[in-house]
Amino acid sequence: MESIWRAATFQAPNPEDYSGIEFWSNPERAGWLSKQGDYLRTWRRRWFVLKQGRLLWFKDPLVNRLSVPRGVIPVANCLTVKGAEDVVNKPFAFEISTHHDTMFFIADSEKEKEEWINSIGRSIVQLSRSVTDSEVVDYDSKR
């Protein structure tokens, strides 16, 4: 409930959402994207940083250890990342879907859109629970 209140009152995310992540240093990916607001459906240009399984955004690219993100998406909660030009009727658009929400973004070019989709997709795969050999059950041998 607290996160809904923070979003409704336009407060910064809970510091626990990004604690221990040095988002100001050596991000996996960083750059400008336009993000559709959660409540006011206008498009706003934000500086995004992908680091250690978190997609964080800021008002400007001057990110340092004292910066406070405007928002954070835990990539482990993401189900899909894919193009969305046909959904929002804008070029270079893509979406990130979680169990609870779908968020839309616009990159500056097709190349940047594909790079963001690939980077976020890679992060989703790295964070997803992989099946180990010990978890695989060979049902044929049980017959």
Which has the closest alpha carbon to 78: 119, 32, 30?
119
Domain edges within the chain: 2-128
Which of 70-74, 87-91, 109-113, 135-139 is predicted with the least confidence, judged by mean pLDDT?
A: 135-139
Q: What is the pLDDT of residues 95-136, one digit of tens each?
A: 999 988 899 999 999 999 999 999 999 999 988 854 333 444
Mean pLDDT of the chain: 84
pLDDT at 2 exceeding the cut of 80:
no
User: pTM of the entire structure?
Assistant: 0.80
Q: pLDDT confidence of 11, banded at 50, 70, 90?
A: low
Length of the chain: 143
Return the CA Rg of the chain. Answer: 17
Look up the CATH number of domain 2-128: 2.30.29.30
Q: pLDDT confidence of 12, banded at 50, 70, 90?
A: low
DSSP collapsed to 3 states, the chain: CHHHHHHHCCCCCCHHHCCCCCCCCCCCEEEEEEEECCCCCCEEEEEEEEECCEEEEECCCCCCCCCCCCEEEEHHHEEEEEECHHHHCCCCEEEEEECCCEEEEECCCHHHHHHHHHHHHHHHHHHCCCCCHHHCCCHHHHC
